[in-house]
């Protein structure tokens, strides 16, 4: 990890001996949704710090709110953190396992006169909180005796009161300049089953009360969280000081924001519930599950997190940086293959009927050890519709009538005739090949301007291919006034049903990424594969095509000189 302000803090602690040279971090998701790329940043940071300092890293479910939490989310989070490569060893914890201990800590605070049972409802508490310029008002229940508080708190736990009837609040200072310190709520009554503790509890701790306790109980040294908790740190510290228990250091960093992407769990849930995407693992989603299904390698996500670094101030990262990290890895690792998205049939009229030959194709020019494979060649082939023009413009160097081009790894061919159907649509091309150019080069040294990909018709396999694009057309969809969903890109998914693929792809395995030559990186959809269908998802294009579009827009809107 590059040195950053957090490693500086840890180095200081180690110098001063604050935690006896120990570094113990954690990732504390609330199981109320799937993890996204922002969480990946936190996971890489926390587990990375533990690695770098020979410390430990915990995975802990912060499952203190029974209403929105589900086992499905717990399972997906475990899978995603593991896939990212963060290792919690045997330290997988649940905040709900500490409920009893937290309750005892609360009793300790009551006994110290530092917490009280309050009968105000949520609205009344809000109203008595004051403003930035005026102090809040003391609750009329603030001066209850310790005995009465102990009795009421026990009865809260025993289920004697309905939801919202009472809370347990910390007794700090209603005039404190920091709102979070104005007698914050520690427990609320919620007669709701919890996905793990079932009906054992009807009072649940708030985040602020619970989080420091969870960290302390686990012996976390550096409790790394995002900037919105900066104002909560005094409260985090206050609870631990009052209880006189092990006191971790909370450190805040800037959360990750990415252009063209929403990273709010609430909004992602809304996309799922309104079926604007096909579930949390839709390959257009910025969730780890979505990115994995799309074909993003875990290493690319880790490299991205490392590259963007850790900052103290919020900023937005260009999504193209993430896509480039994916290309960098796939360029090194993805096998090259030939696939035709929009097939146009080519008949090589001077090639023998019923003959097939096997040609050598390079698997990965970036990796000498990747070797070669055989691709079949025969009289009938498919090429991309786009690679032929009947009336080619000047800059078009690919196939047209009378022109010679190279078929990758095969021969030079020349188009001699265009066949059309009754409606005038081109259905077939007739070409000739030069048998002396096997492998793609002419012995007489003549040059062609263009090399195109192809597949042999008879051996080709057919499969659907999904072309994914950015889910939002706006660079900052989170800032949209009103409904963020209006910024959705209507063209974020295009499905092409019968693409033609070279036969080696018949053995393709789920999640494996290929470079379809000249087209981009594509991976086998794991969900369809499990259901018995071979389908491919476009992971990324070969180049940043959006950069081109944006430049064109810039040119159009730029003031004329
Ligand atoms: P919410 O709390 O609203 O449900 P959340 O995204 O904060 O949403 P958590 O489950 O609390 O969800 O997040 C777990 C951890 O991931 C927290 O420590 C949080 O700070 C961190 N985290 C969440 N979003 C980001 C982000 N965009 N960038 C970096 N870290 C993030
Ligand atoms: Mg949170």
Q: Which string of DSSP letters, residue by residue, matches 460-518?
A: -EEEEEEEE--SBSSS-GGG-SS-GGGGB-TTSEEEEEEEEE-GGGGG--TT-EEEETT
What DSSP state is assigned to residue 85?
A: T
Alpha-carbon dihedral sign for residues 314, 319, 320, 323: positive
340 has pLDDT over 70: yes
- The answer to whether the CB of 120 falls within 8 A of the CB of 128 is yes
Does the CB atom of residue 32 touch ligand 1 within 6 A? Answer: yes
Cα–Cα distance measured from residue 536 to residue 336, given in angstroms and rounded to the nearest whole number = 14
Q: Where are the domains of the chain?
A: 21-253, 265-335+463-553, 339-453
From 39, 311, 313, give the residue whose CB has the most ligand 1 atoms within 8 Å, as the site to mutate: 39
Is the separation of the CB atoms in 499 and 465 below 8 Å?
yes
| Tokens found for residue 291 | 């990115």
Q: How many residues does the chain have?
A: 561
Instruction: Supply the pLDDT for residue 558.
Output: 60
Q: Which tokens go with 355?
A: 């003959």
Cα 74 from Cα 210, distance rounded (Å): 19
DSSP 401: B
Residue of 91, 255, 267, 389 marked active site: 255
Ligand 1, from 38, 64, 287, 312: best to mutate by most atoms within 8 Å of Cβ?
38
- Taking the C-alpha atoms of residue 41 and residue 308, their distance in angstroms, rounded to an integer, is 9
Mean per-residue pLDDT over the chain, rounded: 96
Q: Smallest Cα–Cα separation from 176: which of 129, 112, 114? A: 129
CATH number of 265-335+463-553: 2.40.240.10
Residue 226 CA: which ligand is closest? 1
Ligand 1 near 42 CB (within 6 A):
yes
409-456 pLDDT, tens digit per residue, is 999 999 999 999 999 999 999 999 999 999 999 999 999 999 999 999
- What's the pLDDT score for residue 561? 45
Q: What confidence tens digit (pLDDT) does each residue in 102-115 have?
A: 999 999 999 999 99
Tell me the C-alpha distance between 489 and 276, whole Å.
10
Catalytic residue among 30, 307, 324, 428: 30
Average pLDDT of the residues in 250-270: 97
Atom 26 (ligand 1): residue with closest C-alpha?
A: 38
Q: What's the average model confidence in pLDDT over 69-84? A: 96
What torsion, rounded to 10 degrees, do the Cα atoms 307, 250, 222, 245 define? -170
Which of 296-305, 420-429, 552-561 has the lowest average pLDDT? 552-561
Task: Give 491-500 pLDDT, tens digit per residue.
Answer: 999 999 999 9
**Ligand 1 contacts CB of residue 55 (under 6 A):** no
Pocket of ligand 1 contains residue 60 by CB under 6 Å: no
Instruction: Judge residue 266's burial from the number of C-beta atoms within 10 Å of its C-beta, 0-12 exposed, 13-18 middle, 19 or more buried.
Output: exposed
Sheet of 24-27: strands edge to edge? 24-27, 56-61, 92-94
Burial of 469 (0-12, 13-18, 19+ CB in 10 A): middle
Q: Give the model confidence (pLDDT) of 119-168 as tens digits.
A: 999 999 999 999 999 999 999 999 999 999 999 999 999 999 999 999 99
Known catalytic membership, residue 265: yes
List C-alpha distances in Å: 145 to 136, 141, 171, 213, 412: 22, 9, 12, 25, 94
- Does position 553 have pLDDT exceeding 80, yes or no? no
Residue 555 has pLDDT above 80, yes or no: no
Residue 543 confidence class, pLDDT cut points 50, 70, 90: confident
Number of Cβ atoms within 10 Å of the Cβ of 535: 18
- Could you tell me which of 375, 308, 386, 374 has the C-alpha nearest to residue 344? 386
DSSP string, 114-154: -EEEE---HHHHHHTT--SSS-----TTTT--HHHHHHHHH
pLDDT per residue over 514-540, tens digit each? 999 999 999 999 999 999 999 999 999
Strands 426-433 and 412-420: antiparallel
Q: Is the CB of 14 under 6 A from ligand 1?
A: no
- Per CATH, which fold does 21-253 belong to? Rossmann fold (3.40.50)
Fold of the CATH domain 339-453: Ribosomal Protein L25; Chain P (2.40.240)
Extract the tokens encoding 75.
């399972």
For residue 230, the ligand closest to its alpha carbon is 1
Mention every residue, 6+ apart, whose C-beta is less than 8 A from residue 404: 412, 413, 414, 434, 448
With vertex at residue 44, the alpha carbon angle to CA 86 and CA 81, rounded to the nearest 5 degrees, is 40
Closest protein CA for atom 9 of ligand 1 = 29
Token pair in block for residue 59? 């995975």
Q: Give me 434's structure tokens.
A: 């030069």
Q: Is the pLDDT of residue 560 over 60?
A: no
Residues 6+ apart with CB under 8 A from 550: none
> Coil, strand or helix: which one is 7?
helix
Cβ count near 43 (within 10 Å): 25
Position 322 pLDDT exceeds 70 = yes
- Which tokens is 290 given? 């979505």
* DSSP string over 26-79: EE---SSS--BHHHHHHHHHHHHHHHHTT-EEEEEE----TTT--HHHHHHHHH
Nearest protein Cα to ligand 1, atom 10: 29
The two counts, helices (H) then strands (E), for the chain are: 14, 27
255 lines ligand 1 (CB under 6 A): yes
Span from the CA of 226 to the centroid of ligand 2 (angstroms): 8
Q: Provide the percentage of residues in the chain whose pLDDT is more than 90.
A: 94
- Which pLDDT score is estimated for 5? 98
The pTM score is: 0.94
Q: Which atom of ligand 1 lies nearest, measured to the CA of 224? A: 18
Residue 341 has pLDDT above 50, yes or no: yes
Task: Specify whether 255 is catalytic.
Answer: yes
Residue pair 380/345 in contact by the 8 Å Cβ criterion: yes
- In CATH terms, are 21-253 and 265-335+463-553 the same topology? no
Cα–Cα distance between 355 and 358 in angstroms, integer? Answer: 10
Taking the C-alpha atoms of residue 81 and residue 45, their distance in angstroms, rounded to an integer, is: 12
Q: What percent of the chain has pLDDT over 70?
A: 97
How much is the CA Rg of the chain, to the nearest whole Å? 31
Choose the catalytic residue: 26, 171, 196, 265.
265
């Amino acid at each position: 990890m590059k040195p950053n302000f957090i490693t500086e803090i840890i180095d200081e602690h180690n110098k001063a001996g604050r935690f006896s040279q120990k570094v113990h971090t954690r990732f504390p998701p609330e199981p109320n949704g799937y993890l996204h790329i922002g969480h990946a940043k936190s996971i890489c940071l926390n587990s990375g710090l533990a690695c770098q300092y020979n410390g430990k890293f915990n995975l802990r479910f912060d499952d203190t709110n029974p209403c929105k939490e589900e086992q499905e989310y717990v399972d997906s989070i475990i899978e995603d953190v593991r896939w990212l490569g963060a290792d919690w060893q045997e330290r997988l914890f649940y905040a709900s396992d500490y409920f009893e201990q937290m309750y005892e800590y609360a009793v300790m605070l009551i006994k110290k006169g530092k917490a009280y049972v309050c009968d105000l409802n949520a609205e009344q508490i809000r109203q008595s909180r004051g403003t930035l310029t005026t102090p809040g008002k003391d609750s009329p229940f603030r001066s209850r005796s310790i005995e009465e508080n102990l009795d009421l708190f026990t009865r809260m736990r025993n289920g004697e009161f309905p939801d919202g009837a009472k809370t347990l609040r910390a007794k700090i200072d209603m005039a404190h300049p920091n709102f979070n310190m104005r007698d914050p709520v520690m427990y609320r009554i919620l007669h709701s089953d919890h996905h793990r503790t079932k009906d054992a509890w009807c009072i649940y701790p708030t985040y602020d009360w619970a989080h420091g306790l969870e960290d302390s109980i686990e012996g976390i040294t550096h409790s790394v969280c995002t900037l919105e908790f900066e104002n909560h740190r005094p409260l985090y510290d206050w609870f631990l000081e009052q209880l006189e228990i092990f006191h971790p250091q909370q450190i805040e960093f800037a959360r990750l924001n990415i252009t063209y992407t929403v990273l709010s769990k609430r909004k992602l849930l809304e996309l799922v519930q309104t079926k604007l995407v096909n579930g949390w693992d839709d390959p257009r989603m910025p969730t780890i599950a979505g990115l994995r299904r799309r074909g993003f390698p875990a290493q690319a996500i880790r490299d991205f997190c490392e590259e963007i670094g850790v900052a103290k101030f919020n900023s937005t990262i260009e999504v193209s940086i993430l896509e480039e990290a994916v290309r960098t890895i796939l360029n090194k690792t993805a096998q090259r293959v030939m696939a035709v998205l929009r097939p146009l049939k080519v008949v090589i009229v001077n090639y023998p009927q019923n003959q097939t030959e096997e040609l050598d194709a390079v698997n990965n020019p970036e990796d000498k050890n990747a070797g070669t494979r055989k691709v079949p060649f025969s009289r009938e082939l498919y090429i991309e519709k786009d690679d032929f023009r009947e009336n080619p413009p000047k800059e078009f160097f690919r196939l047209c009538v009378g022109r010679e081009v190279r078929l990758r790894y095969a021969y030079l061919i020349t188009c001699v005739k265009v066949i059309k159907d009754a409606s005038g649509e081109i259905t077939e091309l007739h070409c000739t090949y030069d048998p002396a150019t096997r492998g793609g080069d002419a012995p007489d040294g003549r040059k062609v301007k263009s090399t195109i990909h192809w597949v042999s018709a008879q051996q080709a396999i057919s499969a659907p291919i999904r072309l994914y694009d950015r889910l939002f057309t706006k660079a900052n969809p989170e800032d949209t006034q009103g409904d963020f969903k209006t910024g959705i890109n209507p063209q974020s998914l295009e499905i092409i049903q019968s693409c033609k693929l070279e036969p080696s792809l018949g053995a393709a395995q789920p999640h494996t990424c290929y470079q379809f030559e000249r087209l981009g990186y594509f991976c086998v959809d794991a969900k369809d594969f499990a259901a018995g269908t071979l389908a491919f998802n476009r992971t990324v294009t070969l180049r940043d095509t959006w950069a081109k579009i944006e430049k064109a827009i810039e040119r159009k809107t730029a003031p004329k000189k």
